[in-house]
Amino acid sequence: MRMRIPFFGLVAERSPMAGLLDHYGQIEAAMSLIQESLLCYIGGGRACKDFQSLKAEVDQLEEAADKIKRRIRNHLPRGLFMAVDKTLFLNYTRAQDNILDEAQDALDWLSMRTVSVPEEFRAQTLDLVDEAVKTVETLKPALESTVRLVHSDIYDRKATKETYQAVRDQHKKVRLAKAALSRAVYESDLEFKAIYQLLHFFDGMHSMSHNAENCADILRAMIAR
């Protein structure tokens, strides 16, 4: 059902919501690097960049995202002119920023020492990363739809809610994949240090996806009546 909400239109130019898309752009750019990093870590090969170089690129994107977050927070309009609840907005910026923080932590764990990921776990590990990245990618249409809803005097509430559900459904896949892989690795004959490192990496991928789900929940609260 499409409705007109003139109040949101009146405050659109003063809303900082559009800045969230700039911030998400840094996160989006990092996702392909994370996938490439893991491919290099596991498989290597001449066509592959050095793992540390890829990790450094992710670090640079995280720093750029932090600058955008601070710019958004430091230039918030007064409460009267906010298109959405200010507390929810600040909570959202924190949750979205945590996505890349968790990705950084996950790569940090891998970089501590080289772990030779056994062949039996490689496909599952790559799948876990792909599914976690997909959760973050699924957040993009949810954010774009919410920004359009807040900035426009025409919106489709039902379609916007469906984008939030898509994020939650995708994160559920990540949670199940992470649990199955963690159990398999923990029960394997790998040395303890390798298991410890890999479990922390899996946790980081799960947390990255979980923060994307948190973002969707906060977006849902922003448009709640």
Q: What domains are there in the chain, each with its CATH number?
A: 16-223 (1.20.58.220)
Q: How high is the pLDDT of residue 85?
A: 84
CA-nearest of 78, 86, 113 to 195 is 113
pLDDT in tens, 4-22: 444 344 444 456 888 899 9
pLDDT for res 120: 94
Residue 220 to residue 225: CA distance in whole angstroms: 10
pLDDT band at 37 (very low <50, low <70, confident <90, very high): confident
* pLDDT interval class at 44 (50, 70, 90): low
Question: Residue 156: beta bridge partners?
Answer: 2
* Average pLDDT of the chain, as a whole number: 87
Closest to 95 (Cα-Cα) out of 27, 162, 149: 27
The backbone torsions φ and ψ at residue 156, rounded to the nearest 5 degrees and listed phi first, read: -120, 95
The 10s digit of each residue's pLDDT in 210-220 is 999 999 999 99
DSSP string covering 33-64, please? HHHHHHHHHHH--TTSPPHHHHHHHHHHHHHH
pLDDT at res. 96: 96
Residue scoring higher pLDDT (215 or 42): 215
Query: Is the pLDDT score of 32 beyond 50?
Result: yes
Rounded CA-CA distance 172/166 in Å is 10
What is the structure's pLDDT at 10? 41
Q: Answer yes or no: is pLDDT of 1 > 50.
A: no
* Average of per-residue pLDDT across 167-178: 98
Distance (Å, rounded) from C-alpha 76 to C-alpha 103? 27
Q: Which residues are CB-contacts of 65 (< 8 A; sequence separation ≥ 6)?
A: 23, 26, 27, 97, 100
pLDDT over 70 at 34, yes or no? yes
Token match 């910026």: residue?
A: 93
pLDDT of residue 92: 95
What pLDDT, in 10s, does the model give residues 67-111? 999 998 887 766 555 667 888 999 999 999 999 999 999 999 988
Model pTM? Answer: 0.87
Which of these, 74, 56, 86, 69, lies nearest to 22 by C-alpha position? 69
pLDDT-derived band of residue 2, with 50, 70 and 90 as boundaries? very low
- Position 82 scores a pLDDT of 66
- Residue 50: pLDDT band by 50, 70, 90 thresholds? confident
173's CB contacts (< 8 A; 6+ apart) are: 131, 135
Tokens 């929810």 map to which residue? Answer: 88
